[in-house]
Structure 1
Amino acid sequence: MSKGREAGIDEDQCQQGQDGGSWLWDRPVGEPRATLILAHGAGAPMDSAFMQEMAQLLAARGIAVLRFEFAYMAARRLDGKKRPPNPQAKLLEQWRAVYLQVRQQVAGPLAIGGKSMGGRMASLLADELNVDALVCLGYPFYAVGKPEKPRVAHLAELQTPTLIIQGERDALGNRQAVAGYNLSESVRLHWLVAGDHDLKPLKSSGFTHQQHLLSAADAVAAFLCR
């Protein structure tokens, strides 16, 4: 993945959130077309290569992106010790706090979402918070090897306009398995050929990881600015 920034993007701006952690903003030059709060997945921080690249690509397309870290990940940053995610109730509590603070700071459309677990937690709150849109990158439809135990009940009733970017061979939600789930009409799926949970395709597919990330960014920007 590219380590540089596309032309026209301001440098990340670090902000201290009321949740006690640091936030990272990627802002487009000029007025943003929309704002997306993007949460990280269970095992990687807010400045992982994937999160960094997506934030930069979206900012280049006019989307302001705010990244934050859940408490367990912020603690790992301080002492280097790996921890499991906080209990779901605590994750949701932090999501609510971040959203309310950001809503006070920005005008215009405000969406929430995230990578894997971060997106799933956002999906549990989207209707409650009455957000403008939900974006999930690599949604964890089920635990590895357990497609018969999907975590999708709330997705059948979801009212918030939702975009899920998913690799066809995602170990947490492949195309064949997801086709059998009952999802709300508000949920739109954007499949990436032979992509895995990080949207990385098989070499034999003829696509590169960068092409899939660009495709994902294009789809998200078009969805948020529809």
Structure 2
Amino acid sequence: MPTERITFAGHSGETLAARLDLPQGPVLATALFAHCFTCSKDIPAARRIAGRLAAMGIAVLRFDFTGLGHSEGEFANTTFSSNVADLIAAAQYLAARDMAPALLIGHSLGGAAVLRARAGIPSVKGVVTLGAPFDPGHVSHHFDAALPEIQAKGQAEVCLGGRPFVIGRDFVEDITAEALTPAIKELNAALLVMHAPRDATVSIDNAAAIFTAARHPKSFVTLDEADHLITKPRDAEYAAEVISAWAGRYVDLSPPAPPPGAPEGVLRVTEADPAGFLQDIHSGPHHHAYADEPLAYGGTNRGMSPYGFVSAGLGACTSMTLRMYARRKGWPLDSVSVDVSHDKVHAQDAQPSGPAKIDQFTRIIRICGNLDQTQRAKLLEIADKCPVHRTLEHGAKVKTQLEEEPQTLPA
């Protein structure tokens, strides 16, 4: 996934640090991601969600709010309103690059911020919240014990997530006074609310309140067993997949035509999880699948193995070839099914040493219909003429080229 490290001016002129995660192919839409309270653009949930969306053709800008992460400024001088202003500044930066955001995605307090910021970002067609509070003042429970000192002295140092932060009186007063109901009712964009039922930090009642206050179109999707920070890779990937599928109803995600000379498009395989083996497979503009390895070989078993796809190609081509032949002959073929097994395990076969093996694919073909023995025998003969069968028997030449592509682009 290509990533640009960029900077832009925040609400008060300080330089904010950001990453723009880009698809390897065409950019079909752009999303703006707002991180959780005192978090950063680089937390695992933000990285994984941005990475999965980029694999689906959606560029994602994630940045550090003023005073957090690698951004300039003093956190003690920020407020909820300043976060909203930072979001609008980020959207203006994208618009200047002809990448005005069509989606706003906010995690926790960032979810409340995108609801509030929507009115200032006219290009937005969809808003997504992840574990967001209905009342921004909800975050004050993280530093309840320091509230008297904040009121008396104007600020206080508190420990949040094992790190010290200075919370100012302006921040407390701002989140206390903020009411999101008017902003939600006048959102004028599709809304997707995502929340985990067992979220111990922001209860799911907040999601219900956001959903109730919003007008249609709106959707509510549970994050099941996810924790508030969405720390598990599987939960982050699920959230990204749901966001992408949902956004397609409200944002035009149609890619351009496939390149000349590739009538069925180019099949692209992209690593989805560098820690495992999960792969995204895109075949042309309309088809997506996963490849993976079984748990026993270090995978997550979320898709077929590579050899499973080879077997699937043989089985599908066999069935199609039989149907095509019977249709041309006018034979009463009611149904076809093909079982394919392969005697190699891919992970073992990939080892550099060991005795050579011969691949053997075994097909069991079932054909149903009022067919005589001559017709059945002919269909069995035709099965051996399917193009994939011939490719496997005769072999193929694979031409490989290495394309140099930087993973991170300088500012």
How many Å separate the matches in 2 of 1:217 and 1:102? 21
Structure 2: which amino acid aligns with 1:159?
N
Aligned 8 A contact 1:55 1:65 in 2: yes
Match runs of 1:80-99 below 5 Å: 83=75, 86-99=78-91
Match runs of 1:147-186 below 5 Å: 152-153=180-181, 154-175=183-204, 178-179=207-208, 182-184=212-214, 185-186=216-217
Partner of 2:318: none
Q: 1:30 to 1:92 in 2, by over 3 A?
A: same
Aligned 8 A contact 2:35 2:46 in 1: yes
How many Å separate the matches in 2 of 1:85 and 1:74? 15
TM-score normalized by structure 1?
A: 0.77
SS at match of 2:20: strand
Aligned 8 A contact 1:34 1:225 in 2: no
TM-superposed CA distance for 1:109, in Å, is: 5.9
Aligned 8 A contact 1:103 1:110 in 2: no
Match runs of 1:130-141 below 5 Å: 130=122, 131-141=124-134
SS at match of 2:104: strand
Match runs of 1:1-226 below 5 Å: 9-10=1-2, 12-19=3-10, 20-74=15-69, 83=75, 86-107=78-99, 110-130=102-122, 131-142=124-135, 143=138, 152-153=180-181, 154-175=183-204, 178-179=207-208, 182-184=212-214, 185-199=216-230, 209-226=232-249
Aligned 8 A contact 2:52 2:240 in 1: yes
Aligned 8 A contact 1:138 1:199 in 2: no
- Which digits, 9 at most, give the CA deviation of each residue in 1:42-85, with x for residues without a partner? 1211111221111111111211011111112147x679x9x458
Structure 2: which amino acid aligns with 1:162?
L
How many Å separate the matches in 1 of 2:194 and 2:131? 6
Aligned 8 A contact 1:26 1:66 in 2: yes
Aligned 8 A contact 2:33 2:61 in 1: yes
How many Å separate the matches in 2 of 1:211 and 1:225? 21
Q: 1:70 to 1:193 in 2, by over 3 A?
A: same
Structure 2 segments unaligned to the other structure (5+ residues): 142-175, 250-411
TM-superposed CA distance for 1:40, in Å, is: 1.2
Structure 1 segments unaligned to the other structure (5+ residues): 1-8, 201-208
How many Å separate the matches in 1 of 2:19 and 2:206? 35
Structure 2: which amino acid aligns with 1:163?
L
How many Å separate the matches in 2 of 1:151 and 1:157? 13
TM-superposed CA distance for 1:192, in Å, is: 1.5
TM-superposed CA distance for 1:129, in Å, is: 2.1
Aligned 8 A contact 2:197 2:222 in 1: yes
User: How many pairs align?
Assistant: 204
How many Å separate the matches in 2 of 1:66 and 1:85? 24
Structure 1: which amino acid aligns with 2:66?
A
How many Å separate the matches in 2 of 1:194 and 1:84? 34
How many Å separate the matches in 2 of 1:113 and 1:33? 16
TM-score normalized by structure 2?
A: 0.44
Aligned 8 A contact 2:195 2:207 in 1: no
Q: 1:145 to 1:13 in 2, by over 3 A?
A: closer
Structure 2: which amino acid aligns with 1:134?
V
Structure 2: which amino acid aligns with 1:174?
S
Which is bigger in relative contact order (C-alpha 8 A, separation at least 6)?
Answer: 1
- Which digits, 9 at most, give the CA deviation of each residue in 1:83-129, with x for residues without a partner? 45811232222221111121121347622222111221111121342
TM-superposed CA distance for 1:173, in Å, is: 4.2
Work out which of the two has the higher radius of gyration on C-alpha atoms and give 1 or 2.
2
Aligned 8 A contact 1:141 1:173 in 2: no
Aligned 8 A contact 1:62 1:221 in 2: no
Structure 1 segments (4+ residues) deviating >6 Å: none
Q: 1:211 to 1:48 in 2, by over 3 A?
A: closer
Q: 1:69 to 1:109 in 2, by over 3 A?
A: closer
Give me the identity figure in percent. Answer: 23
